[in-house]
A and B are shown apart, each in its own frame.
Chain A
């Protein structure tokens, strides 16, 4: 199978998943929105029935009042699109979502009311935090992992595996809470909320943003680097047992070149894939961590949408998250196939 064809199938598969997820989520939310709309219609009618003119009508001519009520109800049902059948609404919702028409939120978030605008503001912030974190994690992880692989079975190696198991058992968001408790309130070093000051502009704004990013960044790195270093170590160890390394050593290639040149190069495909999978994971795990830190990214949007039951926002954020997730899976596949030609042939 040629790589292009393989890629084509992957993309087709991803699109199918995207459409299906959007469809299922639409079913859920059309149902939620329906119940929502019904209570709102009842509220509107109750409000209007308190109008003196209507009250008079109710007293003098109950029949006319009933007629007014049913008319008004009909009108409002049309306004909220409840007159259309359920499946038609689901399909139009799916279509709109797939075309990025998410509609409006009920109350503004990040100073915007349009869901697509809100998400546009949130994505770069999530990427800023988690990509920076991932780069730092990769860097530390590589250094530690290679060191541990070189000294497999020695103290450094054992320490690393203990650290990896410990940190892998910690929920990231809880570590965030503890760090806020310790560094913000007991020691007063970092701000407790990462929501940037909206009154600042230009350079001062970015400085503030970066300063507020430090604590979430430390949290993400702290929780993830151990497990990452351990993965790198395992990959490196299995690579260093391969024949070409022995040959290189026998030829008298300097040890540093053997490790950083030969072994690392050979081990890079799984490492790179792991980096990308780590990025994917951080998008999901970020939801609660961002909520804890008030970091104004996609995760916090999820939190806000949940707390305020913003149906449109929830729908939009989910769609974008799923799409990003699928896209990065494909990118991971492409890079993996590029780095390791065996994959292309193998499948």
Chain B
């Protein structure tokens, strides 16, 4: 084939492809997926794969739905927010120390789950004389609650407002005062143990503050006063963060370990596309070479190759893959590719053989032989180019199969546990009882992503099939 021929046939192909609406849709989908895969580090963050298999993403709230559900529900849930020192007002105190003001505007019906303060960096010469911290909350209704008084701060101090025992005690005493409730000692113990600190802090101060009070909207100011003697201590707050642990998180919510599902989805495209395409290309190429060789050699060689093909065809693939997976323990992605290729070439080889048998008998092949062309030349110059169109559509059509099988193996728990894959996410979801608990944001997106990859390649494959092999429609 000369270069002009290639360009011409490519032009023809593109011309025809424009009339395949499905094919164009598939192509756009594929382009989006490829973009997601390539720019995964930019879209999310580059450390996602290393962090994914770690136990917990402590800074994220576990099992919360995506933020956008607020548009669809009547109750507004507080989103996840992380404030750094830049978002706070800092004031130097005269006697030594700082006063931080953290302003939080509450417009939500359900307040954050927790507020976490961390990142104090204290170096002190005298361990017993560390800085003292007092946290006061100024509520929009004018009342003031002292949450924490004179707590010593060191570098590893992490304050969790919702669960801190001292805060809970202070909040309880305050709430008892505002509600004016007379409580028996046993009731007091029970309430103090069960109350939701955050709901009380962000709720209207009236008599039913303990029984699900209505939310109080407005600006809340957390005043964090840290006092110390300059000589003894130095305090570096540049790493300080206040995490308002949300009832919702990001674009897709989080799973039970607090992992960002959106990040998993985006990174999953890499595995999915690379496994799918690698398997499809390798198995179709092997299948075609096998089929053409079988047809070209003929005789007893063909017989042997065909017996082996039939033998592989009779293997139930999934059970065998599962067995091999169970034997190997966890299967690395490269091994999955290898296994899928091992069983993937069989069908293609059969069709390629029957096509090659026809082509072999055509006059131009005979002519080439008569002119003294060798086997290699006949096979690669004359037979292969005729089969390649079929190969392209087959490649596209076998990607979904590979993607789904990889997901299935991961779902059974024998996938690569260190890789971020959609199957692995669904496996985790199933193990954590996501369906039972109604965590739809954890179950639906990974499956839709798998389906999307499948759909993209099916659409492309069908379009290619219609254009390139009008006589052999597979779907």
Q: What residues make up the interface of A, taking CB atoms closer than 8 Å to B? A: 13-14, 16-17, 20-21, 25, 28-29, 31-32, 164-166, 168-171, 173-175, 177-178, 180-181, 184-186, 192, 227, 230-231, 234, 283-285, 287-288, 291-292, 302-303, 306-307, 309, 314, 317-318, 321-322, 325-326, 329
Partner of B454, one of A170, A173, A309: A170
Partner of B316, one of A13, A20, A169, A325: A325
A291: B residues at CB distance < 8 A:
412
Q: What residues make up the interface of B, taking CB atoms closer than 8 Å to A? A: 22, 307, 310-311, 314-320, 322-324, 326-327, 400, 404, 407-408, 411-414, 426, 429-430, 434-436, 438, 440, 443-444, 446-447, 450-455, 458-459, 462, 473, 475
A322: B residues at CB distance < 8 A:
315-316, 319
Q: How far is the CB of A194 from chain B (nearest CB, A)?
A: 13
Instruction: Label chain A's interface by main secondary structure.
Output: helix
The reply to whether B458 and A165 form a contact with Cβ atoms under 8 Å apart is yes
The reply to whether B320 and A186 form a contact with Cβ atoms under 8 Å apart is no
Cα distance A13–B313 in the bound complex, in angstroms? 11
Contact A168:B454 (CB < 8 A) given known A17-B315, A287-B319: yes
B458: A residues at CB distance < 8 A:
165, 168-169
The reply to whether A326 and B454 form a contact with Cβ atoms under 8 Å apart is no
The reply to whether A171 and B315 form a contact with Cβ atoms under 8 Å apart is no
The reply to whether B436 and A306 form a contact with Cβ atoms under 8 Å apart is no
Contact A170:B408 (CB < 8 A) given known A165-B459, A177-B430, A321-B316: no
Other contacts beyond A13-B310, A13-B314: 14, CB < 8 A:
A13-B311, A17-B311, A28-B323, A29-B327, A171-B447, A174-B447, A178-B443, A180-B435, A181-B438, A185-B435, A284-B317, A287-B318, A306-B413, A318-B323
Cα distance A329–B310 in the bound complex, in angstroms? 11
Q: 11 A–B contact pairs at CB < 8 A?
A: A169-B453, A170-B447, A174-B407, A174-B426, A175-B447, A185-B436, A227-B475, A230-B475, A284-B318, A287-B318, A318-B319
Residue of B nearest to A193 (CB): B436
Cα distance A81–B434 in the bound complex, in angstroms? 44
The reply to whether A171 and B316 form a contact with Cβ atoms under 8 Å apart is no
The reply to whether B444 and A288 form a contact with Cβ atoms under 8 Å apart is no
The reply to whether A177 and B311 form a contact with Cβ atoms under 8 Å apart is no
Residue of A nearest to B453 (CB): A169
Cα distance A271–B276 in the bound complex, in angstroms? 30
Q: How far is the CB of B455 from chain A (nearest CB, A)?
A: 4
The reply to whether B316 and A25 form a contact with Cβ atoms under 8 Å apart is no
Cα distance A192–B455 in the bound complex, in angstroms? 29
Q: How far is the CB of B408 from chain A (nearest CB, A)?
A: 6
Q: How far is the CB of A242 from chain B (nearest CB, A)?
A: 15
Interface centre among A168, A171, A180 (most CB of B within 10 A): A171
Cα distance A184–B435 in the bound complex, in angstroms? 9
B411: A residues at CB distance < 8 A:
173, 288
The reply to whether B319 and A171 form a contact with Cβ atoms under 8 Å apart is no
Cα distance A317–B447 in the bound complex, in angstroms? 28
Cα distance A174–B448 in the bound complex, in angstroms? 9
Residue of A nearest to B444 (CB): A178
